[in-house]
Structure 1
Amino acid sequence: MTIFFVGAGLGTVADLTLRAIACLKEAEVILYDALIHPSLLDLAPAHCLRVPVGKRAGGAALPQAAINQLLCDYGHRYRRIVRLKSGDPGLFGRLQQEVEAVLSAGLAIEVVPGVTSALAAPLLAGLCVTAKDVSQSVAIVSGHAPETLPWSSLVQIETLILLMATRSLRYILEQLIAVGRSPHDGLAIVQWAGQPQQQEWFGTLEEYLNIADHPDMAPAVVVIGAVAQKRYPFARLDLALPALTSPMPDFPLSGQTVLVTRAAGQASPFSQQLRAAGATVLELPTLEIVPPSSWQPLDTALSQLPQFDWLILTSHNAVNFFMQRLQQQGNDSRALATLKIAVVGEKTAQTLQTYGLVADFIPSEFVADALVAEFPVPVAGLRLLFPRVESGGRPLLADAFTAAGATVSEVPAYESRCPQQADPTILAALQEGRVTTVTFTSSKTVKHFCQLVGAQAATLLASVQIASIGPQTSETCRQLLGRVDCEAQDHSVQGLLSALISRSLGLNLR
């Protein structure tokens, strides 16, 4: 039983080492970071369990202790577990904490190095970080906690390479200048290094600070020093941006401004994907995900788990609130040993996997209706536990199971409510006609959008493309907004992104 800590390099199969490819092809379980490209996971066998454990800045994070525990739990149940990390696992990858946990559990390890973006990104942008007579010293620095950095030491180093620094870059540059770094020093930002959507910006510290409103270019590598002002012809010059605020014309969503209406804290990954496709993204949270008004119904169900045959989970939120409440009661996934679990949607299944559980059934379509139609066993006589949103959920699922002879216990596990007010800057963008597309990921996001915007909702969207995640959301759009222009074929956030790109490129997809 071995845990393989594998570096994924820049994120494409072409950037993997031969040893990394061999590990993935033999993996039984892969725990992977947020920036891992799906093509890498496709190298694994079909039966391999794929567990997402990474995070992006601003997004929800799985605690490091939970990742350590998952590694140990899987390590005692499977023979070959791959912990797939972006870049090189030893560079800002929390390798030490995970290795120590695994070794303490008596498990064997192997570390497979990867190509780090800290060195590859500058090369792909035409920069030599130790160019002769220009730089004899290089420091690779994390921008995650810039207030702790040793500024007086860093200012003496000729070339600085910053990772995870785009959100704090203005602060970092101001601090460097304050301790003596020249404002005319070179600055290069390389976003999505090695990917088809690679973008670059070149200038000086001063020029960057003079830009009042610049887009978030994460994930990106930042290079500071004279080397950033000397490019060589091995750069991918066709991918360079003339200015930080200039759009990439070859990107499918370039020139579009997309308004994302999801739950607060859940929009960022989708927004990052839209930005990677070239869009300008605005976020208007239309949902606040909170605990139910009372825990009593769920607590009662949790105390009676052996009485149920199946657990039905239809959303990412249902999984998290159910499992967290189970843990708060002093239990863990072992309490579900006697139940089979059915889920709707790949995202729901992936969330379940983070708790060490694998769904017994996932319908072919990511909609609740398919769960009823494709249920793998006769439902007559079954006892089903259905934790769900407290208000506003569709009764179809419970009604259909009940009609087929099952006993369904619906219990509120969470509530999704409308925020008290909308961001006035977003309302202004709508009123000024700066939004080209609005996305809706549930019927509630449509209803709450109309509640936040008021009676002018349909009027404000008269010239805006309305994009829906699936048929039920589309129906609500038609009822409240009069139309829907684009619907995802695969009823997921990824499917919604694909639908927007297909429509933008003029492909014959609905």
Structure 2
Amino acid sequence: MAPPVAALPSRAMSVERGVVYLVGAGPGDPGLMTLRGREVLSQADCVIYDYLLHPQALDGVPALAERIFVGKRGGAQVADQEAINRLLIEHAGPDKVVVRLKGGDPFCFGRGGEEARALRRSGIPFRVVPGVTSGIAAPAYAGIPITDREAASSVCFLTGHEQAGGDRHDWSALAKLPTLVVYMGVRQFPRIRDQLLAAGRSPETPVAAIRWGTWPHQQVLLGKLGDMVKRMAERQFAAPAILVIGHVASFARELDWCQLGPLAGRQILVAGVLRGDPLTLALEAAGARVLHCPGEAIEQPLAVPAQWWQSLPACRWLIFTSGAGVRHFMQALLRQHPDLRCLAQVDIGVIGPSCAAELARFHLQPRCMPQVHDSRHLVEALLQAGIGQCQGEIWHPGAAEVSWTSGPSLAAHGVTCRELPVYRQQWRSQVMRLGDEPIDAVCLSSPSALRRLRRHADPEDLQRLIRDGAQFCAIGQATADLMVSQGWPVHLQAPRPTTSSLVDTIITHYAPGSSI
């Protein structure tokens, strides 16, 4: 018997529990995710997501939802397709909303069909939320209409990946089509070019390669079928990219509309922070391509010992110096005390807006946040708020490997702050090679960022950056002082120890007259 057919969705369609949703996140620009996709994410209990997603694609995911990364990075797959299928089946449940979040569209070279078949075979209901596919969006952001009434009445989408069993494309047929849009074709482009030329396609055929399409650091390379391999090699043009082959590719010169930011073309190394942090987002919004060292960290939640929860009634202040500290403490707290009124007698101090934003996700506001977002000013603000007269306990939830360096400053005023480890950061790369790509600037947003850079980056690469003239940028005086004491150059220093001030300083250096 055929499975029952779901009713067509209505405009006011609710999110069903006990269902796995295959959701397309779009090509990169978070504004291109559909309203339906956002709606489903807002009620997710578990999100299983890929690498090629803008960090803001996960905005709106409930604070207590489980997040599982399964993408590919640096050629290494965190989980293969069979493992992903098993994850979907294992996490599905009668009362759960599980979201498989994929870049682009799940059914357009996204292997969503394989996941749907695995779910159907296991008797698990699923729904599909289409996304904007990169084969349409990336050319559009480069000023390329993939069809045109005068130049291209048809278009073919194909993948550059060869499947087991060899090449299945009919190149003689493909060579006759006006427009080809190739996904995942950068490494295979020499083979694609040879096949098309052998099938009679002219070497003068326009070609466009669009890297990181729809992202702020989008790159577009134009050429012809006969010379594009050489041009891509000269520019070290690498994945992820979409290739457009056909006359419409030449329209990019006339119809380019996407305004580049003041840091377009700049590569900036950000040390010791997570992908998606405010500094990365601000630099990307200005058009920079951001590299990270260490490459990525896993935040591992730690179990909070029972005696801490037993002494919660004695707590009178919570101090947060990282957004991750807020997130992991609140998640652990809500598992023990679902009613937030347990914090009714607790004042909260935060070091800056990122901590305040995490608190807001739990419908909480800090009593104390300094105007200058560093530890010294936080201590001053806490003392002015009366923490010195506190009659209860003061807790600082944070990372296991990092204690709050200003804790002793409070102790000098007779204030004892207890360190509460709520998570551990495990960096994926112990020693990271930075490669030969030119890096324009190195951003250090805290003293700990410098320590992580020294620990995880190859020393020869760091010396090469200095020799090649990379600009080393410090967020504030404390970071600059540590850099100087350890023999590092300080080329740029933000006048205020804030993310916006640091990014504005970099923009002013590279693009005078511009600002964020």
- The answer for the alignment partner of 1:472 in structure 2 is 478
- The answer for the alignment partner of 1:153 in structure 2 is 169
Normalising by structure 2, what TM-score?
0.58
Say if 1:83 and 1:490 are closer, same or farther in 2 by CA, change over 3 A.
farther
Residue identity opposite 1:2 in structure 2: V
Does the 8 A contact of 1:313 with 1:388 survive in 2?
no
Residue identity opposite 1:126 in structure 2: I
- The answer for the alignment partner of 2:134 in structure 1 is 117
Secondary structure at the aligned position of 1:203 is classed as strand
1:281-300 counterparts in 2 under 5 A? 285=293
Say if 1:85 and 1:336 are closer, same or farther in 2 by CA, change over 3 A.
farther
Secondary structure at the aligned position of 1:221 is classed as strand
Normalising by structure 1, what TM-score?
0.59
How far apart, CA to CA, are the structure 2 residues paired with 1:312 and 1:422?
33
Does the 8 A contact of 1:9 with 1:116 survive in 2?
yes
Aligned length: 454
How far apart, CA to CA, are the structure 2 residues paired with 1:71 and 1:471?
50
- The answer for the alignment partner of 1:237 in structure 2 is 254
Matched, 1:173 2:184: no
Deviates more, 1:208-217 or 1:48-57: 48-57
Deviates more, 1:194-203 or 1:54-63: 54-63
1:216-255 counterparts in 2 under 5 A? 216=237, 220-224=241-245, 228-231=246-249, 235=252, 237=254, 239=256, 251-254=261-264
Residue identity opposite 2:227 in structure 1: E
- The answer for the alignment partner of 1:243 in structure 2 is none
Does the 8 A contact of 1:349 with 1:358 survive in 2?
no
Could you tell me how far 1:91 is from its partner in structure 2?
3.3
Could you tell me how far 1:381 is from its partner in structure 2?
1.6
How far apart, CA to CA, are the structure 2 residues paired with 1:93 and 1:70?
20
Q: Deviations over 1:136-175 (max 9, x none)?
A: 662343x6x6565852336455154333x2xx622x2245
Matched, 1:386 2:370: no
Could you tell me how far 1:291 is from its partner in structure 2?
11
Does the 8 A contact of 1:488 with 1:498 survive in 2?
no
Q: Deviations over 1:14-45 (max 9, x none)?
A: 867xxx5588699965879864596997xx8x
Gaps of 5+ in 1: 241-247
Say if 1:374 and 1:100 are closer, same or farther in 2 by CA, change over 3 A.
farther
Could you tell me how far 1:396 is from its partner in structure 2?
0.8
Deviates more, 1:213-222 or 1:89-98: 89-98
- Percent identical across equivalent pairs? 21
Say if 1:178 and 1:189 are closer, same or farther in 2 by CA, change over 3 A.
closer
Secondary structure at the aligned position of 1:222 is classed as strand
Say if 1:435 and 1:222 are closer, same or farther in 2 by CA, change over 3 A.
closer
Say if 1:201 and 1:57 are closer, same or farther in 2 by CA, change over 3 A.
farther
- The answer for the alignment partner of 1:408 in structure 2 is 418
How far apart, CA to CA, are the structure 1 residues paired with 2:418 and 2:24?
46
Matched, 1:506 2:512: yes
Alignment partner of 2:305 out of 294, 302, 311: 302
Q: Deviations over 1:83-108 (max 9, x none)?
A: 98754454355766599989x9999x
Does the 8 A contact of 2:326 with 2:397 survive in 1?
no
Residue identity opposite 1:437 in structure 2: A
Say if 1:411 and 1:38 are closer, same or farther in 2 by CA, change over 3 A.
closer
1:97-496 counterparts in 2 under 5 A? 97=115, 113-122=130-139, 125-128=143-146, 138-141=156-159, 148=164, 151-153=167-169, 155=171, 158=174, 160-163=180-183, 165=184, 169-170=186-187, 172-176=188-192, 182=198, 184=203, 187-191=207-211, 193=213, 199-204=219-224, 207-210=227-230, 211-216=232-237, 220-224=241-245, 228-231=246-249, 235=252, 237=254, 239=256, 251-254=261-264, 256=266, 258-262=268-272, 285=293, 301-302=304-305, 304-309=307-312, 314-315=321-322, 334-335=335-336, 358=362, 360=364, 364=369, 367-368=374-375, 373=381, 380-382=391-393, 384=395, 386-390=397-401, 393-397=403-407, 400=410, 405=415, 408-411=418-421, 414=424, 423=433, 436-447=440-451, 460=466, 464-480=470-486, 481=488, 483=490, 485-487=492-494, 491-492=498-499, 496=502
Residue identity opposite 2:393 in structure 1: L
Q: CA RMSD in A?
A: 6.4
